[in-house]
Amino acid sequence: MRKILLGVLGLLLIVFAIFFAKYLIENKDKPTGNVQKVVKTVFVDTVENKDVPIVIKNNGNLMAKHRIELYSEVQGVFLRSSKLFKEGQKYSKGSVLLRMDGAEFGASVQSQKSNLVNLITSIMPDLRLDYPEAYPKWQAYLNNFDMKKATPPLPESTSAQVNNFIIGRGINTAYYNVKNLEERLRKYTIVAPFNGVLTEALVNEGTLVRNGQKMGEFIDPSVYEMEVAINKSYSRFLSVGKAVTLSNLEHTQQWKGKVSRINGKVDQATQTVKIFIEAQGEGMKEGMYLEASLIAKDEADAIKIDRSLMVDGTHVYAVKDTVLQLVEATPVFYSDKEVVLKGIENGTKIITKPVPGAFPGMVVKVAETDTKSVISNTKQAVE
């Protein structure tokens, strides 16, 4: 009886478990299967093709257009002049920049002058007897000869016989020796070739200056040049006289300049062409690092957009009936951050900010903002 009772209870337990499991399966909550679709919001601008100024930008340092490095061609002690030979000292044209002690060399010049006068004096009796027509010129030359002044040119010979006679007596040789020494004596004093300022001073008063030693640097602070390297592909846009806008890196100061020279050689390593921009204005200093903006030309029927919006270099995303599609465009100019495009029809709504995960056919929502033409925005940016 006990075994029969346990068997019946086990059978009842199995039947109960089956019915209970069936009940749970029938009353289980089933997923609805409705997945909410996310539609991304995009910002667009309406294309309006206009003339887009192509602006080439580059950076460089200002250098004085007129500058000289002061080197000594003679040896002597540096003497004090009317102004201290110090950096920042201004000099007017013709004033003495520096002077070296040339007393010893000056004495040798006077000795050679005296020798020349003695030679001329020695030939005067022969000139008076043999060539009386030449005698008055040479006598007047001796009478007007001043040892303290530069040696005047020798009188012109009236005939070949007189000329040969003068040469044979060594007059010409003595004269050119004196002129050579006088030219060298002038090098003991250096004068300012233009109005300017001393930017480097390497010697002090009392210093022994040796032949070939650099003494300083002198510039004209009124006119500067800036050298920049432009990609060779842009060189066709450049010409001498083109207007250039210069500004500091903070864009708090601006100056006007122009292209003064263009190098005719392309750098083989960088494939760039050097151009030189001439500029002048208050606040300019040698060595300043500036940005040059050169309007090369106006590209007709074009727009300007951010380079990050380009797809594969020849397409941009546009929105048509809330769906993204690729529009083909032709890039004509690249700058650091922007690109000038042609070939997009007026009225096309292109996106203005990159859309992560974008693909053709993607459904998007256009942000409710006032749409403005790309060209209008870029024009204002340029201005």
Options 3.40.50.80, 2.40.420.20, 1.10.357.10, 2.30.38.10; which CATH number does 41-52+299-382 get? 2.40.420.20
Within its chain, how far is the Cα of 166 from the centroid?
Answer: 59
In the prediction, which pLDDT does 381 show?
40
CATH 2.40.420.20 residue ranges of the chain are 41-52+299-382
Instruction: Fold for 56-64+221-298, please state it.
Output: Elongation Factor Tu (Ef-tu); domain 3 (2.40.30)
What separation in angstroms does the CA of 167 have from each of 120, 123, 157, 228, 381? 11, 11, 11, 57, 78
Are 116 and 225 in contact by the 8 Å Cβ rule? The answer is no
In the prediction, which pLDDT does 290 show?
93
Closest CA to 121 of 174, 164, 160, 163: 174
In the prediction, which pLDDT does 334 show?
81
Sole residue written with tokens 């009940």: 23
In the prediction, which pLDDT does 65 show?
92
In the prediction, which pLDDT does 6 show?
78
Q: Which architecture does CATH list for 67-102+188-219?
A: Beta Barrel (2.40)
In the prediction, which pLDDT does 199 show?
92
CATH 2.40.50.100 residue ranges of the chain are 67-102+188-219
Q: Kindly report the pTM of this predicted structure.
A: 0.66
In the prediction, which pLDDT does 206 show?
87
**What does each of the 383 residues of the chain score in pLDDT, given as a tens digit?**
777 877 778 788 888 888 877 777 777 665 555 555 678 888 888 999 998 888 888 889 999 999 999 999 999 999 887 788 999 999 999 899 989 998 889 999 999 999 999 999 999 998 888 888 889 999 999 999 999 899 999 998 878 888 899 899 999 999 999 999 999 999 999 999 999 999 999 998 888 999 999 999 999 999 999 999 888 877 777 888 888 999 998 888 999 999 999 998 888 888 889 999 999 988 899 999 999 988 877 888 899 999 889 888 889 999 988 888 999 998 888 877 888 898 899 989 999 898 888 888 888 888 875 444 444 444 444 34
Residue 320 C-beta-side C-alpha neighbours within 13 Å: 10
